[in-house]
Amino acid sequence: MYNGLGGQVGNSIQALENDYPQFDFLGLSHKELDLREADKIDQLFEKYKPSFFLQIAAYTAVDKAETDIDDCRLINAISTNIIAKACKKHQVKMVYVSSDYVYHSTVGSPIKETDANEPKGVYAITKLEGEIAIQNNLDNYYIFRTSWVYDSFGQNFVNTMVRLGNKLDHLKIVSDQIGTPTYAPDIAKSIMEVVQQNIEKSVKHYGVYNLSNQSTTNWASFAEEIFVREKIQCEITGISTEEFGAKAPRPKWSVLDCTKIKLTFGIELPTWNESLQTCLDNRSKE
C-alpha cells in the first residue's frame, strides 16, 4: 500500500505495478487518505492487511510552508507519527521518502547518512520530524533521502524550464546551489527493488539511505542542459540564492553519497544527465 498517488514518485510507483505481478498494490490519492486525518490508516490496514506501507505523500510546497507551519507539520510529521504507530500495531513495514534538506550541509564532500542533520526551514524540519517519528516507533523501516525530484509530467523544474524557455529570451537562475536532480521513476524503481529484496530474498538491512541520481550540477547548468537537449534558444544568467530570494532556506550543498544503498542492495542510479534524457524522451511521447 502506498500514498502520494497523483504526485511524481507515487505515480512512478503506480507505473511499475505491472512489473511486479506477484504483489498486490493499493495506491491512495490525497482524497482517499488525507494525511490531516491520518488515523483513518488503521481501518485501511485492518481491511487490506498490507505488508508494506510506502509513505510518499507530503506537504512539498517548500516556500508556502514557511507561513503554513501547522498544516505542513500535520501532513509531514504528525501524520507520519500516527502512521508509524499503526504500522507497529499491524506489523506493517514502512517506507518514508525524505529529503536532502534534512542535512543542510556546508561540507564540500558528498553527504553520508551519518552526517549531522541541520534542517533549516519548516519543510525541512518537518521532514526530519517525520523521520524521527518513524525511528521512535519502528525497527522495520526504510527512509530514503532524495533530492531535486522531477518527472516528465509534474510541476517541476524541468517542465517549468521547457515552458519558460520556449516563451522568454532570457532567464535568471540560481547557480550557487550544488546538488543532483533525481528522476522520480528511478526513485520508484529503487524503492520497489528494496521491497522485493525484503520480501523475496529476506534481505532486510532496515535504516536510512541516501538515494539520488549520480554526478552533480547546479540549477542554472541543469537548465542549460535542458535547453541544449530541447534545442531551446534562451539565455541564462546565473544568480545567487540570496538574489533569487526564495522564502525558505535552501542548502547550497546537497550532494548525497549513495554508497550505502549500492553496497547493501546493489542499487546504483544513472547519472542525472542520462535520466534527464529519459525524462525528455518520455515527455515527448506524452
Ligand X SMILES: NC(=O)c1ccc[n+]([C@@H]2O[C@H](COP(=O)([O-])OP(=O)(O)OC[C@H]3O[C@@H](n4cnc5c(N)ncnc54)[C@H](OP(=O)(O)O)[C@@H]3O)[C@@H](O)[C@H]2O)c1
Of 2-10, 42-50, 198-206, 219-227: span binding ligand X (CB under 6 A): 2-10
Q: Give the Cα-Cα-Cα angle 67, 173, 76 (nearest 5 degrees).
A: 30
Give the residue at shortest CB distance from ligand X.
7
Rule CB under 6 A: choose which of 1, 2, 4, 161 binds ligand X: 4
Please, which residue, 68 or 193, has the CB nearer to ligand X? 68
Cα Rg of the chain, angstroms? 19
141 belongs to the catalytic site: no
111 binds ligand X (CB under 6 A): no
CB of 147 to ligand X, least distance (A): 5
By the 8 A CB rule, do 51 and 2 touch?
no
* Site map (CB under 6 A) of ligand X, residues 226-265, x = contact: ----------------------------------------
Q: How far is the CB of 92 from ligand X (least distance, A)?
A: 18
Q: How far is the CB of 189 from ligand X (least distance, A)?
A: 14
Alpha carbon distance 88, 81 (integer Å): 11
59/183 with CB nearer ligand X? 59
The site string for ligand X over 130-149 (x = CB under 6 A, - otherwise) reads ----------------xxxx
Please give the residues from 153 up to 212 whose contact with ligand X meets the rule CB under 6 A: 154, 184
Nearer to ligand X among residue 61 and residue 203 (C-beta)? 61
User: How far, in Å, CA of 187 to CA of 133, rounded?
Assistant: 22
Report the alpha-carbon distance of residue 28 to residue 30 in Å, rounded. 7
Q: Which amino acid is at 3?
A: N
CA distance linking residue 194 with residue 192, whole number of Å: 5
* Closer residue to ligand X, CB minimum distance, 125 or 149: 149
Sites for ligand X among residues 71-100 (CB under 6 A): 75, 97, 99-100
Binding-site size, ligand X (CB under 6 A) = 28
In the sheet with 253-254, reading across from the earlier edge strand, the strands are 217-218, 178-179, 253-254
Among residues 59, 96, 123, 209, which one is catalytic?
A: 123
Of residues 18 through 77, those in contact with ligand X by CB under 6 A are 30, 33-36, 56-60, 75
Q: Is 63 exposed, middle or buried (0-12, 13-18, 19+ CB in 10 A)?
A: middle
87-100 residues labelled b (16+ CB within 10 A) or e (exposed):
beebebbbbbbbbb
Reported as type and span, the H/E element at residue 273 is: helix 272-285
**For helices 41-48 and 79-90, what crossing angle results, to 10°?**
30
Our CA angle for 172, 176, 182, nearest 5°, is: 90
- Smallest distance from the beta carbon of 75 to ligand X, in angstroms? 5
Residue 65 cell numbers, joined = 510552508
With beta carbons less than 8 A apart as the criterion, state whether 255 and 110 touch: yes
102 makes contact with ligand X (CB under 6 A): no
Q: Is 105 in the site for ligand X (CB under 6 A)?
A: no
Catalytic residues: 123
Q: Which residues bind ligand X (CB under 6 A)?
A: 3-4, 6-10, 30, 33-36, 56-60, 75, 97, 99-100, 127, 146-149, 154, 184
